[in-house]
Homo-oligomer: A and B are copies of this chain.
Amino acid sequence: MHFTSEQRLDDGVLEREFTLGEIPGILWTPGSASAPAPLILLGHPGGLHKMYSRLAARARQSAAEGFAAATIELPGSGDRPRSAAAEQARADLHRALEAGEPVDDEIVDRLVLPLVEKAVPEWQTTLDSLLSLPEIGGPVGYSGGVISIGTRLAVVEPRISAAVLFAGSFVPRTMFEEARQVTIPLHVLLQWDDRGNDRQAALDLFDAFGSKEKTLHANMGGHTGVPQFAGDAAAQFFTRHLS
């Protein structure tokens, strides 16, 4: 992990860009911390530059609660090399949505499963590096989309002890079986009128999660319209489980 830039934000939070091999990322740590901070991994749909302002806002809210937060670019997004197969799957998805057709499982599988296969080990390698920093301790939470990445991480990565999952992307059928294996506390966010999302699949996935503590928060406002109070509730979930 190489830090490539560093700036102190106006609320005292230290923001550092890094690269981990070819993967760019950003780490935010609280301005004042007497002990190693718990860590929240910030998931997103890809495109660090495009997502920066929303990610930084989530990170700063986390830092105000005493948490470090980190994110990395997704495979095939931002400045990372494109995958022709993923681009084709994305185009096929958009074509189906624009035509108002049901989205074939086969398209979802082609789009999401290779992404999960590539992204999850990258998150785990990132976690190795982050936890070796003296200013970062544990426990660790995952927050965000892509929900299939969060689900797989919750199954295979024992260092993640709680997750806020954003149910805003299509879910391959095989993920429902993986969801049954999840046991950590979950806080699932669903935008009820998210036109580019399959609401019933999100509800089915919530039902499938094996966790004894799981909460679904559904709100209005479209895909990007998560209300401030819903973000606050997600932050409270982490305060309960990671503090």
Residues of A with Cβ closer than 8 Å to B?
A: 192, 203, 206-207, 212-220, 227, 229-230, 233, 236-237, 240
Contact = CB atoms under 8 A, between A and B. Distances in A.
A214 B190 CA distance: 12
A207 B216 CA distance: 15
Contacts of A219: 214-216
A203 B190 CA distance: 13
B236 A216 contact: no
Contacts of A212: 220
Copies of this chain, complex-wide, total 2
B217 A215 contact: yes
Main DSSP-derived SS at the A contact region? mixed
A216 B214 contact: no
B229 A216 contact: no
Given A203-B203, A229-B240, A236-B229, A192 B220 contact: no
Best-surrounded residue of A218, A233, A240 (most CB of chain B within 10 A): A218
A165 to B, nearest CB: 14
Contacts of A220: 212-215
Contacts of A230: 215
24 contacts: A192-B206, A192-B214, A192-B216, A203-B203, A212-B220, A213-B227, A214-B219, A214-B220, A215-B217, A215-B218, A215-B219, A215-B220, A215-B227, A215-B229, A215-B230, A216-B216, A216-B217, A216-B218, A216-B219, A218-B218, A229-B236, A229-B240, A233-B233, A233-B236
Contacts of A240: 229
Contacts of A233: 233, 236
